[in-house]
Amino acid sequence: MSRRKSLQKTNEPFLRSIRSRPELATSEQFPFNIPAFAQGIDLTLKRKVTFLVGENGSGKSTLLEAVAVLCGFSLQGGTLDHGHAQTGEGSLLAETLRLAWLPKVSSGFFMRAESFFDFASYIDSVGDRSLYGGAAPLLEQSHGESFLSLFQNRWRDGLFILDEPEAALSPQRQLAFLRILYDLERTQRAQFLIATHSPMLLLYPGADVLHLSADGIKRIDPEETEHVRLTRDFLRDPQSYFRALFAEEPEES
């Protein structure tokens, strides 16, 4: 069997690892002062779908951005061939990271939650509707519709770096997104690195979940994430949360 065929038969990711050089641990400057990076970054990616999870401010977007820069994606979000940012952007963290690939892929997409609108405007402005299936212009679709439209019609191969894709998606559409993940993962040609706060996404079967905290970046069972546990517990009995949350402080006499 050829090497290429044997690679296609496995479900191993093609971006295999993300590692920092040692100087990372010594700086007190952003982004090196983020507690999750304090002991350096040494991540082995084991699955085609990897989620980054952690509190607000734990460093997920910073890490995604650095990986995206190293891949050559536009920092504003976009594909390699359709990146529309000016050159010269950089990320300090990216300068200290090393990516290991097998094989190196040169297609994919970086989506920052907050810049999706800019990117949709760009695609609409270049007028290439083949990018999203020739449907209505992206800006005439809702946020969630346009996001799914891009995935369903355009992006099949490569590395997809997505920052909080759930921001665009209703719960029903999050399920549709999981189906897309499932289909693309099975083609063996797509890999995903996704920062999320969504319990629905985190529970995707077979995903690897990496938790950023003051203890560094550690693999975690999604069931053990606060996102899943708290949401499950809250939905089981919201009133008990409200009673505790809205309890009046006893007045001092």
- Residues making contact with ligand ATP (CB under 6 A): 30, 34, 54, 56-62
**Measured from the CB atom, is 48 or 60 closer to Mg ion?**
60
Which one, 65 or 124, has the nearer CB to Mg ion? 65
Nearer to Mg ion, 53 or 131 (CB): 53
Measured CA to CA, the distance from residue 243 to residue 30 in angstroms comes to: 39
54 binds, among Mg ion, ligand ATP, none (CB under 5 to 8 A by kind): ligand ATP
Minimal distance, residue 114 CB to Mg ion, in Å: 9
Minimum distance of ligand ATP from residue 127's CB (angstroms): 33
3-state secondary structure 24-38: HHHCCCCCCCCHHHC
Closest separation in Å from C-beta 59 to ligand ATP: 4
- The nearest distance, CB 251 to ligand ATP, in angstroms, is 35
Q: Using CB under 5 A as the criterion, which residues of the chain lie in contact with Mg ion when the complex forms?
A: 60-61
The residue among 2 and 86 lying less far from ligand ATP, judged by its C-beta, is 86
CA distance 126 to 205: 37
Which of residues 56 and 87 has its CB atom nearest to ligand ATP in the complex? Answer: 56
Q: Give me the residue whose beta carbon is nearest to Mg ion.
A: 61
Nearest approach, Cβ of residue 113 and ligand ATP (Å): 8
Kind plus residue range of the DSSP H or E element containing 110: strand 108-111
- Tell me how far apart the alpha carbons of residues 234 and 145 are, in angstroms, rounded to a whole number: 29
- b/e string for 57-96 if b means 16 or more Cβ within 10 A? ebbbbbbbbbbbbbbebbbbbbbbebbbeeeeeebebbeb
139-163: b (≥16 Cβ within 10 Å) or e: eebebbbbbbbbbbebbeebbbbbb
> Count of H helices and E strands in the chain?
9, 9
Contact partners, residue 239, CB within 8 Å, separation at least 6: none
Task: In angstroms, give the least distance from the CB of 62 to ligand ATP.
Answer: 3
Based on C-alpha coordinates, what's the Rg of the chain?
20
Q: Which of 65/185 has CB closer to Mg ion?
A: 65
77 interacts with, out of ligand ATP, Mg ion, none, CB within 5 to 8 A per kind:
none
